[in-house]
């Protein structure tokens, strides 16, 4: 039985040899792209097209036609290839967009010719090059996903967005299209976004394709990005990969393995695996919601037809028609629910394997890794801020990781107008939780960096955060006592502003080592509590400068503030709030994924009630500083 996929839905592929069948409503060029685990193109042999030689495991597709059959041997595909994209491209001189031609149908069939899964590309408009299906590796097994997204600017834009330099993408796109058309028009190349991506546009202030989040939500959820910085921390060879799980039998799920993603180190592989889990959950739920919406719209249409038919106005035939429509709807929803449950079960199993294997920087505070934690010799790749989940399975939590060094400041919103959950909470309790979050983040940053490589400053002008700050003060790990009063605000802001200026000048002069001896070269974190209390106009200007310029030279901002309390400044501070990544101290659904823009609920990660893990961690940090101090 063929699995009829909707956009975002996936299905297991239990055969290593498969056929990709394309039936288009107009002559198209069918291509196969080869990408790594993050969907990036690099090196030679990334596109199977009529003008290219045969690539391992892939039969080069035919020339321009309405129907195509592509043979794929998944066992023969190169080990570093994790995604095979089935691309459909309109040739120059043909139809100007996919929205103007009948919907194409693409399927995957087994060696005997029986279809495994199929997908009808509906909802397209201005696209001229689309990714129809994607075959991808997941925990040692292959799956097929319905994508149905593309680019109005053509094949060149698709290749450029996948990581190819513009010139290389232009040349490759031209070579692929040369056999399809004799037109002399150049192949368009652009970094244009998907023309057919569903969901709301990212909110103002979001970080497209590389930020870690956004400021307060405006027109829609702020968009998260797990884009990998491709950092290399060592010239050493990659760590050995974990043992591969046994290949699953047909109909069985693959056994999850922690660290089975690509990467230079186990930390990097786990980071990429979390990224993959985040994407899988987003697309799985999108497919379910799309299927339910389709079932509902189909039932509504059938009910309207039944009510408008004069034959159903007498007797019981009208009731029978309505019952039939509702039964069809329930059957479709039941099928979608079964697929959702299957995928969620597999993701839950993967989370249960991955979570205990995470390093301290990625781990929850209740993870046993903290009991034996020791100060590292180099900084981490990313930092865990909390968990993300969707209403279809609230218990399935995906770690929310942000890259470090932090590319943007953080803002913990302690105002009661940010969400319904905040409005329902006592003001004092909300503010205490927000400040406890800031302290937990500071402790985590100190603990996962080498001793002395991170300095923490605090501005608490009113002294309202003293209870939360007490563990940091007792451990003696702050760069100085928390600054109190209006006079106390001036000194840390002036010192950190001077540091930013001096480092910027040294970098521009090409002499980053020529800094005055009193300049602390460690990464700096400034915690500001209850802004704008104690701030005058000059201090506000300095804070905005640190938010804009500091992160690039190692000065990071963590604000605990209620935006409404700074309303007297009006729009003057709007750029400040937008430059920061807003975090809620209470569970709140305001963050969006970059694929289908679900509204994800964020929950901060705090030490368990009554636990001494924070104090024990601070003791290790203080001890490491004492032993490494000259």
Question: In sequence order, what E strands does 152-243 have?
Answer: 222-223
What secondary structure letter does DSSP report for 131?
E
Q: Which residue has the higher pLDDT, 135 or 167?
A: 135
When mean pLDDT is compared over 6-15, 217-226, 340-349, 589-598, the highest value belongs to 340-349
Report the percent of the chain where pLDDT is more than 90: 44
Distance CA 218, CA 435 (A): 24
Q: Note whether 492 and 566 are same-domain residues.
A: yes
Q: Note whether 120 and 27 are same-domain residues.
A: yes
In a domain, 367, yes or no: no
Strands 105-109 and 17-35: antiparallel
User: Which pLDDT does position 438 carry in this prediction?
Assistant: 97
HEC-encoded secondary structure of 318-354:
HHHHHHHHHHHHHHHHHHHHHHHHHHHHHHHHHHHHH
User: Which pLDDT does position 204 carry in this prediction?
Assistant: 29
Q: pLDDT-derived band of residue 185, with 50, 70 and 90 as boundaries?
A: very low
Q: Which residue has the higher pLDDT, 570 or 445?
A: 445
Nearest to 397, CA basis, from 601, 133, 550, 197: 601
Q: Note whether 483 and 416 are same-domain residues.
A: yes
> Which residue among 179, 198, 217 closes a domain?
198
Q: Note whether 349 and 410 are same-domain residues.
A: no
Which domain covers residue 337, as residue numbers? Answer: 266-358
Contacts of 53-58 with C-beta under 8 Å, sequence gap 24+, read 58/32, 58/34, 58/84
In a domain, 245, yes or no: no
Q: What is the largest CA-CA distance in the chain?
A: 95
3-state DSSP call for residue 401?
strand
Question: Contact at 8 Å (CB) between 93 and 154?
Answer: no
pLDDT tens per residue across span 416-466:
876 778 888 899 999 999 999 999 999 999 999 999 899 999 999 999 999
When mean pLDDT is compared over 69-83, 140-154, 438-452, the highest value belongs to 438-452
Q: Note whether 408 and 351 are same-domain residues.
A: no
β-strand partners of 222: 591
Q: Note whether 507 and 568 are same-domain residues.
A: yes
Q: Note whether 347 and 408 are same-domain residues.
A: no
In a domain, 629, yes or no: no
Q: Note whether 139 and 285 are same-domain residues.
A: no
**587 has pLDDT over 90:** yes
Q: Note whether 330 and 477 are same-domain residues.
A: no
The Cβ of residue 240 has, within 10 Å, a number of other Cβ atoms equal to: 7
**189 has pLDDT over 70:** no
Strands 3-5 and 115-120: parallel
**219 has pLDDT over 80:** no
Distance CA 207, CA 214 (A): 7
Q: Note whether 353 and 411 are same-domain residues.
A: no
Distance CA 99, CA 554 (A): 48
User: Which pLDDT does position 113 carry in this prediction?
Assistant: 86
Q: Note whether 325 and 425 are same-domain residues.
A: no
3-state DSSP call for residue 617?
helix
**Average pLDDT estimate for 389-413:** 94
In a domain, 222, yes or no: no
What secondary structure letter does DSSP report for 75?
G
Strands 141-151 and 129-138: antiparallel
pLDDT tens per residue across span 373-394:
889 989 999 999 999 999 999 9
Task: Identify the CATH number of the domain in which residue 432 sits.
Answer: 3.40.50.300
Q: Note whether 441 and 583 are same-domain residues.
A: yes
User: Which pLDDT does position 245 carry in this prediction?
Assistant: 52
In a domain, 61, yes or no: yes
Which of 185-189, 323-327, 418-422, 600-604 is the least confident region? 185-189
Phi-psi region of 520 (alpha: psi -120 to 50; beta: other; left: phi over 0): beta
Report the percent of the chain where pLDDT is more than 70: 85
Residues 6+ apart with CB under 8 A from 44: none
Q: What are phi and psi of 355, to 5 degrees?
A: -55, -50
Nearest to 622, CA basis, from 483, 383, 377, 446: 446
Distance CA 460, CA 531 (A): 9
In a domain, 244, yes or no: no
pLDDT tens per residue across span 513-548:
788 888 888 999 999 999 999 999 999 999 999 999
In a domain, 131, yes or no: yes
HEC-encoded secondary structure of 14-54:
CCCEEEEEEEEEEEEEEEEEEECCCCCCCCCCCEECCCCCC
pLDDT tens per residue across span 234-253:
334 445 555 555 555 555 56
**168 has pLDDT over 90:** no
In a domain, 210, yes or no: no
Task: Identify the CATH number of the domain in which residue 13 sits.
Answer: 2.60.60.30
* pTM of the model as a whole: 0.68
Mean of pLDDT over the chain: 83
**177 has pLDDT over 70:** yes
User: What is the tally of structural domains in the chain?
Assistant: 3
């Amino acid at each position: 039985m063929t699995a009829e996929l909707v956009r975002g839905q996936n299905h297991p592929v239990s055969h290593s040899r498969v056929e990709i069948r394309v039936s288009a409503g107009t002559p198209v060029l069918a291509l196969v792209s080869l990408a790594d685990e993050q969907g990036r193109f690099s090196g030679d042999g990334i596109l199977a097209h009529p003008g290219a030689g045969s690539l391992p495991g892939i039969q080069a597709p035919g020339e321009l036609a309405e129907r195509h059959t592509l043979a794929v041997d998944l066992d023969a595909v190169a080990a570093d290839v994790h995604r095979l994209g089935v691309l459909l491209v309109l040739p120059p001189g043909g139809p100007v967009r996919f929205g103007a031609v009948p919907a194409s149908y693409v399927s995957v069939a087994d060696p005997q010719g029986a279809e495994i899964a199929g997908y009808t590309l509906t909802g397209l408009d201005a696209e001229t090059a689309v990714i129809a299906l994607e075959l991808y590796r997941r925990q040692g097994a292959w799956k097929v996903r319905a994508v149905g997204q593309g680019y109005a600017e053509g094949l060149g834009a698709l290749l450029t967005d996948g990581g190819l330099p513009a010139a290389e993408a232009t040349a490759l796109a031209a070579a692929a299209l040369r056999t399809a058309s004799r037109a002399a028009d150049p192949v368009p190349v652009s970094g244009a976004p998907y023309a057919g991506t569903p969901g709301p546009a990212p909110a103002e202030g979001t970080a497209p394709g590389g930020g870690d989040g956004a400021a307060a939500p405006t027109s829609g959820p702020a968009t998260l990005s797990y884009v990998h910085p491709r950092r290399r921390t060592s010239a050493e060879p990659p760590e050995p990969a974990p043992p591969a799980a046994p290949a699953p039998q047909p109909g069985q799920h693959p056994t999850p393995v922690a660290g089975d993603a690509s990467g230079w180190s186990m930390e990097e592989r786990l980071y990429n695996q979390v990224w993959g889990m985040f994407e899988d959950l987003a697309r799985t739920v999108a497919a379910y919601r799309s299927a339910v919406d389709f079932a509902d719209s189909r039932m509504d249409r059938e009910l309207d037809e039944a009510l408008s038919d004069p034959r159903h106005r007498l007797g019981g035939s009208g009731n029978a028609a309505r019952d039939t429509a509702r039964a069809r709807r329930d059957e479709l929803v039941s099928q979608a629910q079964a697929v959702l449950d299957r995928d969620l079960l597999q993701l839950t199993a993967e989370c249960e394997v991955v979570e205990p294997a995470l390093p301290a920087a990625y781990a929850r505070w209740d993870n046993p890794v903290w009991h034996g934690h020791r100060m590292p010799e180099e900084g981490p790749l990313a930092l865990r801020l909390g968990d993300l989940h969707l209403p279809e399975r609230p218990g399935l939590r995906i770690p929310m990781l942000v890259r470090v060094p932090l590319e943007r400041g953080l803002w913990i919103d302690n105002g009661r107008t940010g969400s319904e959950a905040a409005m329902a909470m006592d003001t004092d309790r909300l503010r205490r939780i927000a400040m406890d979050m800031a302290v937990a983040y500071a402790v985590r940053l100190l603990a996962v960096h080498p001793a002395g490589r991170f300095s923490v400053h605090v501005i608490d002008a009113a002294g309202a955060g003293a209870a939360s700050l007490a563990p940091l003060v007792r451990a003696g790990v702050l760069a100085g006592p928390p600054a109190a009063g209006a006079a106390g605000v001036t000194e840390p802001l002036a010192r950190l502003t001077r540091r930013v200026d001096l480092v910027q000048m040294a970098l521009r002069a090409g002499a980053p080592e020529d800094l005055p001896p009193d300049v602390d070269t460690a990464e700096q974190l400034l915690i500001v509590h209850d802004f704008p209390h104690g701030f005058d106009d000059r201090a506000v200007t300095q804070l905005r400068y640190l938010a804009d310029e500091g992160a690039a030279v190692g000065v990071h901002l963590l604000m605990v503030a209620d935006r409404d309390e700074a309303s007297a400044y009006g729009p003057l501070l709007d750029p400040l709030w937008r430059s920061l990544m807003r975090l809620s101290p209470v569970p709140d659904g305001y963050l969006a994924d970059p694929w289908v823009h679900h509204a994800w609920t964020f929950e901060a990660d705090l030490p368990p009630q009554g636990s001494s893990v924070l104090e024990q961690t601070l003791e290790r940090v203080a001890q490491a500083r004492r032993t490494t101090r000259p």
